Amino acid sequence: MDIFKIIGIALCGAVLSLAVKQYRQEFAVCIGIITGLIILFSVSDGLGEIFNRMNIIIEKSGVKSEYLVAILKIVGICLISQFSAEVCKDAGQNAIAAKLEIAGKILILTLTIPIINDFLDICINTVNILD
């Protein structure tokens, strides 16, 4: 299974980072970043399948394709901001990590506003039709 490979990579990176940390803190942070990127790239093959499945769902449901784009952007922002915040935390920069998480949440909120607006329009139109 892929999860065992990923766990192995993570454990090797963690042990190597801990071993180097006592001598060179900055190298330990780099090892953490590289290990995280290796893990992300090792699961990137599944992204193509996710995109294909999402397109099939969109086509079958008749939902606007803009929603798919927004959802993918939201997931991307979430993953990237979380990964970056964790790197900042590993480097001991908790305040920067917190600001990064807030920035990610604000960007996600800006992407959801048009979806919420469309949803409310649908609700209002449905109520008007029922009256």
Q: Which residues have a Cβ under 8 Å from the Cβ of 89 and sit 6 or more positions away?
A: 97
> Given pLDDT bands bounded at 50, 70 and 90, which one contains residue 131?
low
Percent of the chain, pLDDT > 70?
Answer: 98
Which DSSP category does 92 fall into? T
Q: Give the model confidence (pLDDT) of 8-52 as tens digits.
A: 999 999 999 889 988 888 888 889 889 988 988 888 877 778 878
Tell me how far apart the terminal alpha carbons of the chain are, to the nearest angstrom: 56
pTM: predicted TM-score of the whole model, two decimal places: 0.71
Q: Give the model confidence (pLDDT) of 119-128 as tens digits.
A: 888 888 887 7
